[in-house]
Each structure stands twice: as C-alpha cells, then as structure tokens.
Structure 1
Amino acid sequence: MPSTENQGFSLSFSSFGRSIFGVGQEQVHSVEASNESDSCNLELGSFQKRVTDRFQDLSVASDEQFLSIDWIQKLLGAFICCQEEFRAILLNNKEQVTKPPLDRMISEFFERSVKALDICNASRDGIEKIRTWQKHLEIVFCALGSSKRALTEGHFRRARKALMDLALAMLDEKESGSVFSQRNRSFGRHNSGKDHHSSSGHSRSHSWSVSRSWSAAKQLQSIANNLVPPRATEVAATSGLATPVYTMNCILLIVLWTPCCSHSLSG
C-alpha cells in the first residue's frame, strides 16, 4: 500500500531531478548559443536531453512503482546507459580531459565513484545475509514441512540446529562473533584459525572491511559534499564538458540514494 513516507521520497526524487537537470540544460544551452556550430556542444546537449528524458520517466512513477524492483532495474539501466555515453564523450575529447579545471572535476568524480563502491558492497553484503537466512529457513521447512512422512527426532534436531544458526546469524556481530564464520559452520565448512577474523573493530565480508561506525548515510553525505553546479566560467573553460561531469556526479548520487531510501522504507 502507498504511504505518505513513500510519497515524500517520490516527490523529493522528482524535485531533485528537476533541479539537477534543469541547471545542466541551461548551461549547455548557453554554450550552444555562443557557438552553435561546435559539434562538441551539440553532443553535450544531446547527452543532457537523453539524461533528462530517462530520469523524467523515472520521476513520474506511481507510489506503487516507486522503489519497486522493476523501477530500480530501470534506474540501473538508465545509469549504465548514461555512464557509457559519458565515457564516449570523454574519449571524444581526450585533449580536454587533462587540462584544468576539467582534470580536477574528473578526478573528484572518480573519487566519488570509489566511495560509491562501499555502498554497493554494503548492499551486496546485505543481500548475501538475507540469502543465508533464507537457506536456514529452507532447512527448517525441509525438515518439518512435509505432511507425507512421519517426523523423527532427526528432523527436529536438524530444524533446531538451523534455527539456532539463523538466530546467531541475525545477532549483531559484536554479540555473536563473526556472522560469516557461524554461517560457514552451519553449512559444514570449518574455518581454520588463520581464516577466522576476530577483530573487534571491523566487520568482515570477503574482501570488504569497514569500521563498525561506518554508515551508508554518512558515506552518501561524503559523496554529496561540495557537489555544486559548475560556474559559467568553468563551463566555458572546459568547452561545456564541466556540465556532463556534474550531471554524472548527480546521477551517481541518485543511484546510491535509492538503496538508502529502500532501507528506510523497509525499516
């Protein structure tokens, strides 16, 4: 059912998108007006229009569609398309990429992209945990769910063990030790001493390690820090290329903002 909270997220997404892409279009059009024959400016204007069209389509989703799986898939598809087109723009303007102030802007975009990996890894980590919990529940269902056979003590023992492993996996790490080592034991894989990570200061998931105080919201704020539209002088100095760099920063922020919204709604 739609909620006022969901409506709030949808409205903020729509207004956020309009403010971002409206600024970008005005800047690109101002450059085009001063030099209409420049093919680079035409390329940038076309890119900006495609970006606007894609996100306008996303912003008019109904409350039921907003943040649904289909909507998120469409969002990721739009991001990938924009990313590929942005990459092509940079490749077509290699001589500008290494010149200031564009080199600084692109470097900041890459830094934000690296920070974005933490949020992506956190989302993947959460999905992996849910899959682990699902496996434990499937064990319980297989042990106790059949009405065509008599239940034995072995079935109850298997179900009880799966439920205990599930309870351990769902506890906070500082209370239950390593969640993933518990998961491995429940599926018959025993960690050796050198593989067991017992550090009290970090959570460990494969190659990803962050402080317990790490927060997706704080990371998102860090990515958003100092993200302001380029000045007219910067747009002119970069032959308009500052605009797609700013646009891609905003698109990255929107895509990362989505899992945080989904978590808030589900919580």
Structure 2
Amino acid sequence: MGVGDNRSLNQVHSKDVNEDSGSEFHCELGSFEHRVFRQFRVLSATEEDELLSLNWVSMLLDAFITCQEDFIVMLLKNESNLLKAPLDRYVTEFFDMIIKALDICNAVRDGMEKIRVWHKRLEIVLGAFDSTSRNVMVEAQFRRAKKGLTDLAMIMLDDDKETASVFAYGNRSFVSPNKGKDDQQKAGHSRSVSWSVPNSWSASKQLQLIASGLSPPRGHEISATNGLANDVYTMGFVLMFVLWALVFVIPCQDRGLQVHFSVPRQFTWGAPLSLLHSRIMDESKKRERKNSVGLLKEIEQMEKSVHLVTGLVDSVNLFPLSEEQKEAVKMGVQEVAQVCNTFKNGLDPLERQLREVFHKIMSCRTEGLEILGRAQS
C-alpha cells in the first residue's frame, strides 16, 4: 500500500472518528471522557509522514499532560466519593499502576540516551566530510568516515550489550540525585525515582502487567459511582496507551512489541485510540521487516542516511574522485547533516517534556494519596 493509499485510508478513519464525535456515545460534551476524545482525535488524524516523529511524540505527551491535569481536577471535585465502593478499588489500582509507569519512563529516558550515543557517532561521520563544501575529498576523510560508520553499526546491532555498557554505571533518572530520602518515599517508589531499571527488567512485561490489570467498569459500577469509575478507568487506559506508544518509538530495554490489549469501543475516546493503535501496528509491521531498532521516524531517517553513505564510502576505491562521485557524496552528507540537525534540535526538548511527564505522573500519585487521606479524616 502506498502513501497515497494510506492517506485515503486515514481520511476514512478520520471520518469515522468525526461521526463518533457527533454521536458522543453515552458521553456528555465537556465531560472528562469527551476532553480525552478531543485530545486524541487530533493525534489520530496526523499525516503519514509526521506519525511517530519527534514532533508527534511531543504532541502525544502534551495530550497526556492535559488529560492528567483534568483528571486531578476531577478527583478534587469528588473527594467525598473516592473512598466509597467500588470507586475505591479503581482509584487504588490506578495509583498502583503509576508505580509501574515510573519504571517505563526511566527506561524511555535510557532509550533516548541511546539515541544520543548514535547521534554522536553520526556527527563523527559528518565531521569526516567537513570540507565537502569546498569540493575537497581525500582518502583520509573516507577512512575516518568508514571507521565512524563501522562503530555506529556495531553499537546499533549489539543492542542488548550496548545498553548494559552505556548505562550500567551512569544511569540518570528523572529525579535529581540530591533529592532526600523523604522525597523519594513520598513519591511511593524509591527505586524508580532514585535509579534506572535493572538489566533484568523488561519493558514489554511491565506494559503487559499494566494492560492486564485494566478492565472497564460494569454497568452497576458505573451507576453506583455516578460515572466516576469510567473516568478513573479512562485515565488508566490513556496512561497505558501513551507508555505503550513511547516504548514502540524509543529503543527501550527488552521492548518486545507483542503487548496484547484491545481498545474498548464503548467509550467515545475509543475511536481515535483504536485508529492510532492500528496505524502504529501497521507501521511496526513495515519496520520490523527492516529489523529497525525503534519506530521513531527520525531513527528510520538515520538508518536510511547511514545506508546511503556506507554504500558511497564502500564504492570509492580510486582518488581523486570524479565530479559525479563528489556530487553523490555531497548529497549523502547532506542527508546525514539533516538527521544530525533534527536530533540536535529535537532530543533535548523531548527529554525535558518526558521529564515533566515523569514528575506529573509522580505528582498525580502524591496528590491522589493526599486526597484519599483527607477523605478518610
């Protein structure tokens, strides 16, 4: 299926999402469920060449932050009901889920550090050709570029071993190391906020535990909680879905992609999330055939540029180069430069945003437990 066909298919799905908006299922305009629907409707309609890009991931995190802020407001408005059965069980399970979510955030941060390592190697390759703009190309440049490309290829192929060697002694978590023990205990999960995940940890297993623990409330539970059980379940599913998408796009530790869950269609937000799920799964099938280390669009661009430049470097045997060869190398170097520039401008803002998400998730649990404490008094 070509890009044009994919866009046509997405337009059909987008039409379905808009029609769902009109019906609203059983969801009132302005309700928490409806606000979640609006956030993810925009993401589900993303153009094909933008899906799973750094910018798209940033939009995904923005949507999550907005949903969680609305969720906290909803909890504050309903403090008196949070300890009543069966809502108390849903709230408790949600706060337990947050503990697992913090580990995944740390693993994603480690994955971003891995991309930084690749970026540095790619800059070495780019630096080898720093005189191409002056039309100067000598054998020494190609030797340096070839070494840089070989180092990068070895790092990317030896994924598990490299993860351990790069991060084993210097992992950074999203909490400053000078945070006191009281702060860590208040967060409710000292291991996650003080250090990164151990080598035996599995992103896919952690995600599966979260997904398996989610189940929509039954009709009598919805009635008994005046719909609040739906809101807590909705936020839990959004959290799981966002984490799942992050593990898909960023090369996390043990990121096996066969995490089984289905998007419930009885909720208004089910339509855009189901569309996103389908589109991401379709992309994963295409990329898995190429043995991609991550579904981030910029990783795909990096892989293509590396393949192109490697072919050019390997094909050059005689110097000086012909004008045709020089032009081909210049074009390849321009592609590498574009990828390097994208990483240079995009990784830092995304990591800051992911850090904010980590703290938002941690604060949600802290605030939620405080709300429960006030309700008990």
Distance (Å, rounded) in 1 between the aligned partners of 2:41 and 2:138? 56
Show the counterpart of 1:214.
202
Verify the 8 A CA contact 1:75 1:255 in the aligned structure 2.
Answer: yes
Distance (Å, rounded) in 2 between the aligned partners of 1:6 and 1:102? 42
| Counterpart among 65, 68, 88 of residue 103 in structure 1 | 88
Q: 1:11 to 1:208 in 2, by over 3 A?
A: farther
Q: 1:174 to 1:236 in 2, by over 3 A?
A: closer
SS at match of 1:56: helix
What is the TM-score of this pair, normalised by structure 1? 0.64
Larger RCO: 1 or 2 (CA < 8 Å, sep 6+): 2
Show the counterpart of 1:234.
221
Verify the 8 A CA contact 2:210 2:240 in the aligned structure 1.
Answer: yes
Verify the 8 A CA contact 2:64 2:238 in the aligned structure 1.
Answer: yes
Verify the 8 A CA contact 1:14 1:60 in the aligned structure 2.
Answer: no
By how many angstroms is 1:81 displaced? 0.9
Give the AA of the match of 2:93: E
Show the counterpart of 1:192.
none
Distance (Å, rounded) in 2 between the aligned partners of 1:227 and 1:174? 30
Show the counterpart of 1:123.
108
What is the TM-score of this pair, normalised by structure 2? 0.47
Distance (Å, rounded) in 1 between the aligned partners of 2:137 and 2:111? 37
Distance (Å, rounded) in 2 between the aligned partners of 1:11 and 1:97? 40
Residues 146-195 of structure 1 show CA distances to partners (whole Å, capped at 9, x for unaligned) of 35689898x899878866764664453775694227999xxxxxxxxxxx
By how many angstroms is 1:97 displaced? 1.8
By how many angstroms is 1:91 displaced? 1.1
Give the AA of the match of 1:236: S
Verify the 8 A CA contact 2:43 2:60 in the aligned structure 1.
Answer: yes
Q: 5+ unaligned residues in a row in structure 2: which ranges? A: 171-193, 251-283, 293-377
Show the counterpart of 1:114.
99
Show the counterpart of 1:2.
3
Distance (Å, rounded) in 1 between the aligned partners of 2:25 and 2:169? 51
1:1-267 matches, within 5 Å, as 2=3, 26=26, 46-143=31-128, 145-146=130-131, 166=152, 169-170=155-156, 172=158, 178-180=164-166, 207-212=195-200, 214-216=202-204, 218-262=205-249, 264=284, 266=287, 267=292
Distance (Å, rounded) in 2 between the aligned partners of 1:174 and 1:51? 36
By how many angstroms is 1:84 displaced? 0.3
Give the % identical residues: 41
Distance (Å, rounded) in 2 between the aligned partners of 1:77 and 1:51? 12
Greater shift in the superposed pair: 135-144 or 48-57? 135-144
Aligned residues: 228
Q: 1:251 to 1:131 in 2, by over 3 A?
A: same
Distance (Å, rounded) in 2 between the aligned partners of 1:116 and 1:171? 28
Give the AA of the match of 2:126: F
Give the AA of the match of 1:180: V
Verify the 8 A CA contact 2:129 2:145 in the aligned structure 1.
Answer: yes
Residues 185-227 of structure 1 show CA distances to partners (whole Å, capped at 9, x for unaligned) of xxxxxxxxxxxxxxxxxxxxx92123446143x3222111142
RMSD (Å), alpha carbons: 4.5
Q: 1:166 to 1:53 in 2, by over 3 A?
A: closer
Show the counterpart of 1:34.
none
By how many angstroms is 1:86 displaced? 0.5
